[in-house]
Structure 1
Amino acid sequence: MEQRDTYTDSPLAAPVSARTRIRSIDTLRGVALFGILLLNIIAFAFPLAAYSDPQVDGSTEGINLATFMVIDIFFEGSMRVIFSMLFGAGLLIFVAKPATDPALIKRLFYRRTWILIGFGLFNAYILVWVGDILYAYGVAGLILYFFRNLSARKLVACSLLITAFLGVLHTGFHFNIRAQRVEVVAIESLPAGTALSQEQEATMEQWDQFLVGQLATPELIREELEVKKSGYVDNFIGAAAINIFIQTTALVFNIFWDTLSMMLLGMAFMKWGWFDASRSLRFYSGAMLIGFGIGLPLNAWETISFVNSGFEPYWSAFNRPTYDIGRLSLALGYIGLVMMICKAGIFSAIRSALAAVGQMALTNYLGQSIICNLVFLGFGLGLVGELERYQLYYVVFAVWLSQLIFSVLWLRRYRFGPAEWLWRSLTYRVRQPLRL
């Protein structure tokens, strides 16, 4: 049985100690962190548009297409869902200090959250990573605190309400883009030299603007590739322009709500005891079977529809009508699977190593940015655009192995990862003991 304490067992205003950590949560967080890299590696190694469209890097047949389809079906969105859920669960762990003044806990939580926003800005701008999620977690965390005392059912209701809104949004994107694309194809099929009406010209201009917004025009793809092959300053400027859009417009209209909904669901699951491996094997096996039973067929249908359409953008990940159902179902399946393994006490060595990765999640997340930048960008090895899609996963496996080894060895001598130590020291305004 896993060593665990419920989230109400930490009495003091101090960092969680190794003895009171919930190891199954650390293990699940390690799995999610590694799973996220399966998707993030695409945006490190290719122009950003390749994340949604395998045509950008030529992955339209053979092993590269198969690689795209496997990753898209089994992992797209689901690992990010789990990572976000665990942030919500972490809030409950942090504030569960019954012997401490609630006002002090609130101050500590908000200081901790603002520092996380700082880490996100560092990752996005200094480490030039346009896929940073820490900033969004911090912004959502500023709101999340007010939901902490809601019952699990109310948290689920709030989460599902937001998720339903996102589903309507994605469905609207799908049908709107599809309608535009039909008109564009009709115009493009006109005989050469045909004079276009004002309405047709407006349609083509709108489509061009859509492609620009997706960074998917041939010119923008070529420019982004040239920037990534350049030095640090050019990459800083290029990433800053994208990050400003992501952290403003995209955050307000999508990312914030996506993040908040999954955090709320994670808080509910924490209150229901999902994450500490305390539920029955039957419960977790049921979650796994239901989650995979819904998520995998749905994701397979979406991905096959995307491929069969000739990679039309209205079938790309974020424009799929059933995107949120598929990724959430798949996340539940993975949670059930990992909790079953934790509860059964099997694969102890790999569970322990993944728990070490999860305990140092902030360090390892930032570490992935550093490693991938040095591998792919021009101020490192400059391999951006040089590898085929399937070859990216040799890099992923190497990063996984290095972080497994590093995390295990580090935690044999130290209490926290380097970034976690800094985060805690700044939060409590006291230099935390690092060595064991």
Structure 2
Amino acid sequence: MTSRRINVLDVLRGVAIVGTLGTNIWIFTSPGGPADVMSALGRPEALETFLRSLTNGKFLALLTLLFGVGLELQYRSAGRRGAPWPGWYLWRAGLLFVEGLIHYVLIFEFDVLMGYAVTSIVVAYLIGRSDRAVRIWMVTVGSVFAAAIALLTAGMLAGGTGAGGPAEPSTLFSQGSYPEQVAARIQLAGLYRLEAVLIVPLGIVLFLLGSRLMRAGVFEDSGRGAALRRRLMVAGLAVGLPLNLLTSFAGPGWFLVDRYLLPPLVALGLLGLVAAVTQRMTGAPGPLRRGLTNVGRTALSCYVLQNLVASALCYGWGLGLAARLDGLRPWWVLAAWAGICALLMALSTLWLRRFRRGPIEAVWQWAYQAPQRLSEKSDKAVKNYVGS
């Protein structure tokens, strides 16, 4: 890959990470914590509903597409080296699952890394198949997923699903201790991990789509790449975005459509837009572009850090700002998001001045290579023994 194409991917990853925080920040800043997610959807505040709609599901879908692009790059790398596939990639997926499990238990209820790990194992066996086979998988899984969302949505609408919160709002996150929150994540894993059930089939489609967009030249600085990016922007921003805005104001009964069906279409438009703008930029990057690029280069570290910082700011075991500043919504929520984003950009920039990878990326890379090094040493020892 050329350096320009690599820079485009870094910027896109940075946008996806800060955009994902744009969704999660509403969870952290709610005094009821994750338990208050559904009840918040029915609040009459039009401004907050609009602000939530700007990020809800869209950057999760963008991040999922980019994981598919990353899987494609790993597949190509294995091919160039003549290495078996999926081979050691399955070890990568296992490490990602462990990292997600730790992140879920210790930091955040709605971790996506565990779902991505399971998805990557499935897609690893599909990515090298013919385009026809991949299309069949995408259409089949996508159709079943869409039908399931449609049935669930119909049930929610028929059942008159409301947005009323519980009779006694939870004080676990506004007043509870850190150990109590960890214990709750373990006890309620079945509830909090429900989203992962939806992420896996959606992820299979988006992983494969990201891989095929990469092959189609979406990041190329060429006429073909520019034309593809324009088509993505039209489909995602001119068609998908207005429809997604409608479902955002349609009520909690449309929650699943609003989060899982329409946002992937908008994410394609965002991918085309960010890639097109980045491709046209020349000269030295400014603070915003440099910051997003560095966040993208340290994406895993920033994903974990942003959730840890938001927890410390908002929850009762930290500064407890969610309860203290609830009367200043939505403005203080925007300020919290912007402040954490600025912190991520500053810290990632300072870190990369001295290190090639983010801290979690470095540990993860060491763990990934450790069994390979042991295997190579073992093979070398056997050869030396046989040779002697």
Shared fold by TM > 0.5?
Answer: yes
Counterpart position of 2:140 = 161
Query: RMSD across aligned C-alpha pairs, in angstroms?
Result: 2.7
Which residue, 190, 210, 215 being the options, matches 1:266? 210
Pair 1:99–1:281, CA change in 2 (3 A) = closer
Residues 158-193 of structure 1: CA deviation (Å, up to 9, x unaligned): 223322222211211122122222xxxxxxxxxxxx
Give 1:277 shift.
4.9
Pair 1:368–1:354, CA change in 2 (3 A) = same
Q: Please identify which structure carries the higher helix content.
A: 2
Equivalent position amino acid for 2:40 in 1: P
Q: Percent identity?
A: 23
More displaced stretch, 291-300 vs 348-357: 348-357
Equivalent position amino acid for 1:426 in 2: A
Equivalent position amino acid for 2:167 in 1: P
Answer yes or no: is 1:217 the counterpart of 2:161: no
Which residue, 228, 243, 257 being the options, matches 2:189? 243
For 1:50 and 1:276, how far apart are their aligned partners in 2? 43
Equivalent position amino acid for 1:230 in 2: G
Give 1:251 shift.
3.4
Which residue, 7, 23, 42 being the options, matches 2:26? 42
Equivalent position amino acid for 2:368 in 1: T
Answer yes or no: is 1:102 the counterpart of 2:102: no
Answer yes or no: is 1:85 the counterpart of 2:65: yes
For 1:353 and 1:301, how far apart are their aligned partners in 2? 33
Answer yes or no: is 1:117 the counterpart of 2:97: yes
Conservation of the 8 A alpha-carbon contact between 2:123 and 2:204: yes
Pair 1:55–1:339, CA change in 2 (3 A) = closer
For 2:129 and 2:113, how far apart are their aligned partners in 1? 24
Answer yes or no: is 1:339 the counterpart of 2:280: no
Equivalent position amino acid for 1:305 in 2: A
For 1:325 and 1:147, how far apart are their aligned partners in 2? 23
Give 1:280 shift.
4.0
Give 1:107 shift.
3.4
Give 1:67 shift.
2.6
More displaced stretch, 29-38 vs 86-95: 86-95
Which residue, 47, 68, 73 being the options, matches 2:49? 68
Output the TM-score relative to the length of structure 2.
Answer: 0.85
Q: Where does 1:19-418 land on structure 2 (aligned, <5 Å)?
A: 22-46=6-30, 47-54=33-40, 59-61=43-45, 65-72=46-53, 74-97=54-77, 98-103=79-84, 106-127=86-107, 129-152=108-131, 154-181=133-160, 216-219=165-168, 222-223=169-170, 225-247=171-193, 250-252=195-197, 254-278=198-222, 279-306=224-251, 313-315=252-254, 317-318=255-256, 320=257, 324-345=260-281, 348-349=285-286, 350-386=288-324, 387=326, 388-418=329-359
For 1:274 and 1:36, how far apart are their aligned partners in 2? 22
Conservation of the 8 A alpha-carbon contact between 1:167 and 1:323: no
Give 1:285 shift.
2.8
Conservation of the 8 A alpha-carbon contact between 2:100 and 2:113: yes
Conservation of the 8 A alpha-carbon contact between 1:30 and 1:355: yes
Residues 118-168 of structure 1: CA deviation (Å, up to 9, x unaligned): 1101110022x1010011111111212101212445434422332222221
For 2:293 and 2:133, how far apart are their aligned partners in 1? 30
Pair 1:142–1:286, CA change in 2 (3 A) = closer
Pair 1:217–1:399, CA change in 2 (3 A) = same
Conservation of the 8 A alpha-carbon contact between 1:360 and 1:416: yes
Residues 233-266 of structure 1: CA deviation (Å, up to 9, x unaligned): 111112223334343x5534x2321222211211
Pair 1:173–1:400, CA change in 2 (3 A) = same
Give the aligned length. Answer: 364
For 2:113 and 2:225, how far apart are their aligned partners in 1? 33
Counterpart position of 2:377 = none
**Which 4+ residue blocks in structure 1 deviate beyond 6 angstroms?**
none
Q: 3-state DSSP class of the match of 2:203? A: helix
Uncovered stretches (5+) of structure 1, i.e. residues with no partner: 6-18, 182-206, 307-312
Conservation of the 8 A alpha-carbon contact between 1:125 and 1:236: yes
Pair 1:228–1:130, CA change in 2 (3 A) = farther
Conservation of the 8 A alpha-carbon contact between 2:232 and 2:269: yes
Output the TM-score relative to the length of structure 1.
Answer: 0.76
Conservation of the 8 A alpha-carbon contact between 1:288 and 1:336: yes
